[in-house]
Structure 1
Amino acid sequence: MRRILGIAAMTAALLAPAVAVPAQAPAQAGVAGVQRVEWLSDRRVALWVFSPAMNMPIQVQMLLARDWNAAPDAKFPMLLMLDGLRATEDESGWTKDADAEVFYADKNVNVVLPVGGVASFYTDWLEPSNGVHYQWETFLTEELPAVLERDWRTTDVRGVQGLSMGGTAAMNLAARNPGLMRYAASYSGLLTTTTLGMPQAIDFAVRDGGGFDSAAMWGPPGGPEWEAHDPYLLADKLKGVSMYVSSGSGLAGAEDPTSPVPLLSGNWAGTGLEILARLSTENFVTKLEKLAIPVTANYRPSGIHSWPYWDFEMRQSWTQAASALGTEPGAPNCGLGGAIASVAQAVGWLGTCVTAEYPAAHGVVQDFQHGRVFHSAATGTHAVGGRIGGTYTGVGAAYSPLGLPLEGERGLPDGRGRMQSFEGGAIYWTPQTGAQVVRGAIFEEWAKQGYEGGPAGYPVAAEARTPSRDGVVQSFEHGPMFYSAATGAHRVQGFILDKYAAMGFENSPLGFPVAGEAPLKDLGRYSRFEGGNIYWSPLSGAWAVRNGQIADAWGAQGFENGRLGYPVSDEFTVPGGIQQNFQTGFIVVKDGKSEVHGV
């Protein structure tokens, strides 16, 4: 069912979140703040946070706490998870190569996953290298926490854990910023950075991983910055921090590719790196023991430098992390019953429940590992998940103008997209366009044109207010649709759209469109607006003819069918009046009188 709001119910208001969605402080130039938000699921969100220190936006993904939706006024501790040397720019390895998203689904902590930072050691570099000037420590310890506490329901109770490069950084961030972290964990980290040969190994790693020069990071080996970033030398600064460290032995384990040499893995680099991590971790632990500083150390009898082992350590260390962060290690018994139980059991992709039922607008909802199930007597019981579920949560879910779901998600006839209907509109998704809400007058006009199979194609952005006039606009694959109460909803496309954009859209003298594009002779096209029309033909291009005497005089000649043909310029001032040129002549208005000149 594709539900369309009637004209009487139309509103030009944006989808205004009512609960569960953080109130964003406006991004300010030169100040750390969220510039962009993309909801990837109902409890996984990507934030682009501007870093003044690096003068650029940094993507940070969050796995929101279990009770994020169920307790919209609650705040949660933060667990920062750092990636390895070859961190990518699209997604953290903790969700790409490990199963952090599912593991933390029933945990009451905001998991924070910085994206990117290849070969950075998440530190402040002394100088730029390879075109980048990293300032990760400043971002992670000063800029990001303030943003998350202000806007994303995160407390000042924090922990940090990481693998390899991220393990080194976890201990450095905790030691170099006393009081910042209550918990720190290193899985296969290099925890002695100044011992014999280690600076050279780190230099090789940053060159191999990202083409960087370690001298730009901490200066020449033996310098003060190397010592200032050595967890071994900073061990006394970690007193009071709950610590967990681990490493494998370098011997092949069950997860490793085999080799012709018994007990050794075919991944030679992984073997060598893990042996190095093991030695440095043992030295670090020995130093802590001499200082009588507690640490949980797990030396595994096998395992190389690879994700299956780090995923395992993430799980093994959670009980200690939860204790340090002041949250329970497991989920309460959520239970299943009634109409929600029957849908949850039928929809296999939901996984297990993570909350009990709780109120949602005029119904109830229950959260699961991979989505949510909503129920009301009026709308029935329906699951919402994935990117559609993320967009739904991002606009306020059942408390938004969308209301409750009317059906489950389903595929569309073109085999490309998916959609789900709600009381106040629908959400459409494709891999290329993302998940977008369509509603109100724009939805009604889009439906008349054939939905995604019509000339507009799929929506590619959310509805947004027009900045200076009372209306909204929504972009589709083949042109945006504008709406105002006075003009209705109409699409503008192609060369006419280019001209409309050049003139300033609805802020121009043309105002809002009042009709869709229509054909004319000689393959021409035109669109009508409040203040005039835009005409286009292959020979003349696209030009606006504004309402007034020039338009009246041209109309008296038969418009484009008359002796003047199509316009070839906009109107412009001349001494004593205005003029507009056409294919075979021009019109001048002086002293309130129109003059038509043919050629």
Structure 2
Amino acid sequence: MRRILGIAAMTAALLAPALVVPAQASAATAAVQRVEWLSDRRVAMWVFSPAMNTPIQVQMLLARDWNSHPDATFPLLLMLDGLRAQDDENGWTKDADAEVFYADKNVNVVLPVGGQASWYSDWISPDNGFTYKWETFLTKELIPVLERDWRTSQVRGVQGLSMGGTAAMNLAGRNPGLMKYAASYSGLLTTTTLGMPQAIQFANKDAGGFDAGAMWGPPGGPEWAAHDPYLLAEKLAGVSMYVSSGSGLAGTHDQLSTMPLISENWAGTGLEILARMSTQNFVTKLEKLSIPVQANYRPAGTHTWPYWDFEMRQSWPQAAAALGTDPGGTDCTLGGAIEAVATAADWLGGCLTAEYPAAGGVVQDFRNGRVFHSAATGAHAVAGRIGGTYAGVGGPDSPLGLPTGGEHGLPDNRGRMQTFEHGSIYWTPATGAHVVRGAILDAWGEQGFEGGPAGYPVAAEAPTPSREGSVQSFEHGPIFYSAATGAHRLEGFILDKYAELGFENSPLGFPVAEEEPLKDFGRYARFEGGNIYWSPLSGAWSVRNGALADAWGAQGFENGRLGYPVSDEFTVPGGTQQNFQTGFIVVRDGKSEVHGV
């Protein structure tokens, strides 16, 4: 696996996501470093943050009309996580049902990943191994990237739960004009009132061992006041606001304790009571300032995800109005060949769009995928990770063309694949989904596809950096291709040696044939400019075309009296030399001298 990853790291994607122009990140520039399409409308990207000097994962749920209106831009809705935010996925998709809910909504939902106990703010000093500068990242680094590369308009909203609810109001208040909408579900909206700094300090320690002093300094200091929504209330004028909290009493999503009306979730009870008090104080302040706010105090409910999922849904009409988009839902019909596929594949869910043109045919979007149709290829659904990879490379506008069959499992019960006009996409949970096409697909197929020695693809085909050709990594070695040499796979110690020499940029050039076995369990591979030989006793060494190789060949190669090479060619006074198991060859002035031991 180390060798495979080395190949992948040295090349840029040939079939890179068509909707992003990759930019090189520098110490002063926020840029997308990597993109992974999780479905046709859910994307994970890693955005380099100069402020935090690290890539930050951000996931996006793309707007309903993303595919059907490729020239449109869409409002941004930033969704912030809670205190225990994890590094693999935002809680709004992991613990709530945001992906399903926003499937028919025409907004780009942006889900930052990570930031445990950060309060999405810029910290005074590093702590616990992190340099938190989340406010700078979210407001000054990420937004320009989304507007430039991801068809996001300058109409923005932010909402969050608990810690994220506090941060939503802080980001809106501290950055006037940035947000048109802000929502807090069970947020702590008074951070400087009596006992609140101590509660936040306890929460930060409990969530991940973080020190609130590293965040905002000592209680009573200026940074605490600068991050208190209550004290920022005047700056929220003009922002459409929605706030809510439960009462702390057990509700429909709680397990009752032995005490009447009290949940077994004791921590959730206490936190929700605290959120209720601070939210009420915040609303009272807004009312005194005559600043409108939609406040919803629920008669029951604790500090837990089902209630925040409910508030997400309840607040959407207000969010949609503030962001200037329709409230969602679709008015679409089914017909013809696409209807037949959608009816048979009920897992696709309801339609999101009417049919619209695709290169060479038509397509219709559904909640869980898309169906493509043309007279030549028929109608086929494309969904899931395979659908994500297809969308990421450009769909029917890419070199793949339209699908020619449905997704199906493979004989090893490990992976799945789908065929297209000019290639296929293969997927396993361990390797991801990758396009294989052209000469590389042909060569891989001759070896048995995923059942052959190469295994599954682990990366996209990518151009070789300095010479015209390409390479694609598989589980057990990459396949190199050039028009002059064809497509050939390398692996093991021969691949390691090829890498050491500089791959196709070395005097060897591209491989011209598959590896072959030799005596004593040895192997060799032929290249444009020579060969690489390996055996268990001698190791892997190159023999370049020319007088030296000819002299060794005259001795019978590895079967002759010199045996296998034990060094590469190297310079000696007046010529070159190469060592073998039982001797060496020196070439001076084009004449070869064979020396046996």
The normalised TM-score by structure 1 is 0.97
Give yes or no for the alignment of 1:118 onto 2:124. Answer: no
CA contact (8 A) 2:509 2:527 kept: yes
SS at match of 2:418: strand
- Residues in 1 aligned to 2:565 and 2:553: alpha-carbon distance in whole angstroms: 12
SS at match of 2:520: coil
- Residues in 2 aligned to 1:341 and 1:589: alpha-carbon distance in whole angstroms: 74
CA shift digits 1:208-237 (9 cap, x unpaired): 111110000000000000000000011000
Aligned to 2:232: 234
CA contact (8 A) 1:25 1:151 kept: no
Aligned to 1:196: 194
Give yes or no for the alignment of 1:159 onto 2:177. Answer: no
Q: Which amino acid aligns with 1:439?
A: R
- Residues in 2 aligned to 1:508 and 1:23: alpha-carbon distance in whole angstroms: 30
CA shift digits 1:371-412 (9 cap, x unpaired): 000011111111000000000000000111111111111000
CA contact (8 A) 1:130 1:211 kept: yes
Which stretches in structure 2 are left out of the alignment for 5+ residues? 1-11
Aligned to 1:354: 352
- Residues in 1 aligned to 2:279 and 2:447: alpha-carbon distance in whole angstroms: 65
Aligned to 2:52: 54
Aligned to 2:460: 462
- Residues in 1 aligned to 2:527 and 2:268: alpha-carbon distance in whole angstroms: 65
Q: 1:259-298 counterparts in 2 under 5 A? A: 259-298=257-296
SS at match of 1:552: helix
- Residues in 1 aligned to 2:335 and 2:101: alpha-carbon distance in whole angstroms: 24
CA contact (8 A) 1:403 1:422 kept: yes
- Among 132, 137, 141, the residue aligned to 2:139: 141
Give yes or no for the alignment of 1:15 onto 2:15. Answer: yes
Q: 1:572-583 counterparts in 2 under 5 A? A: 572-583=570-581
Aligned to 1:446: 444
**Offset at residue 25 of structure 1 (A):** 3.9
- Residues in 2 aligned to 1:62 and 1:306: alpha-carbon distance in whole angstroms: 23
**Offset at residue 254 of structure 1 (A):** 1.0
Aligned to 2:521: 523
- Residues in 1 aligned to 2:23 and 2:476: alpha-carbon distance in whole angstroms: 33
**Offset at residue 306 of structure 1 (A):** 0.6
CA shift digits 1:466-508 (9 cap, x unpaired): 0100000000000000000000000010000011111111111
Q: Which amino acid aligns with 1:271?
A: T
Aligned to 1:72: 70
Aligned to 2:242: 244
**Offset at residue 328 of structure 1 (A):** 0.5
CA contact (8 A) 1:24 1:151 kept: no
- Among 209, 212, 220, the residue aligned to 2:210: 212
- Among 385, 394, 397, the residue aligned to 1:396: 394
- Residues in 2 aligned to 1:138 and 1:384: alpha-carbon distance in whole angstroms: 38
CA contact (8 A) 1:357 1:364 kept: yes
- Residues in 2 aligned to 1:29 and 1:385: alpha-carbon distance in whole angstroms: 37
Aligned to 2:582: 584
- Residues in 2 aligned to 1:491 and 1:375: alpha-carbon distance in whole angstroms: 36
- Residues in 2 aligned to 1:404 and 1:333: alpha-carbon distance in whole angstroms: 26
Structure 1 stretch displaced more, 328-337 or 195-204: 328-337
- Among 532, 535, 541, the residue aligned to 2:533: 535
- Residues in 1 aligned to 2:510 and 2:588: alpha-carbon distance in whole angstroms: 28
CA contact (8 A) 1:17 1:399 kept: no
Aligned to 1:423: 421
CA shift digits 1:70-98 (9 cap, x unpaired): 01111111000000001010100000111
The normalised TM-score by structure 2 is 0.97
SS at match of 1:156: strand
**Offset at residue 349 of structure 1 (A):** 1.4
Aligned to 1:90: 88
**Offset at residue 341 of structure 1 (A):** 1.1
Aligned to 1:305: 303
CA contact (8 A) 2:415 2:426 kept: yes
**Offset at residue 24 of structure 1 (A):** 3.7
Q: CA 1:13–1:501 in 2, change beyond 3 Å: closer, same or farther?
A: closer
SS at match of 1:522: helix
**Offset at residue 592 of structure 1 (A):** 1.5
CA contact (8 A) 1:374 1:381 kept: yes
Number of residue pairs the alignment of both structures matches: 586
- If asked which structure has higher relative contact order (CA below 8 Å, sep 6+), I would say 1
Aligned to 1:3: none
Aligned to 1:548: 546
Percent of matched pairs sharing the same residue: 81
**Offset at residue 347 of structure 1 (A):** 0.5
Aligned to 2:7: none
RMSD of aligned Cα (Å): 1.1
**Offset at residue 17 of structure 1 (A):** 6.5
CA shift digits 1:254-308 (9 cap, x unpaired): 1112211111110111111111111100000000000000000001111101110
Aligned to 1:317: 315
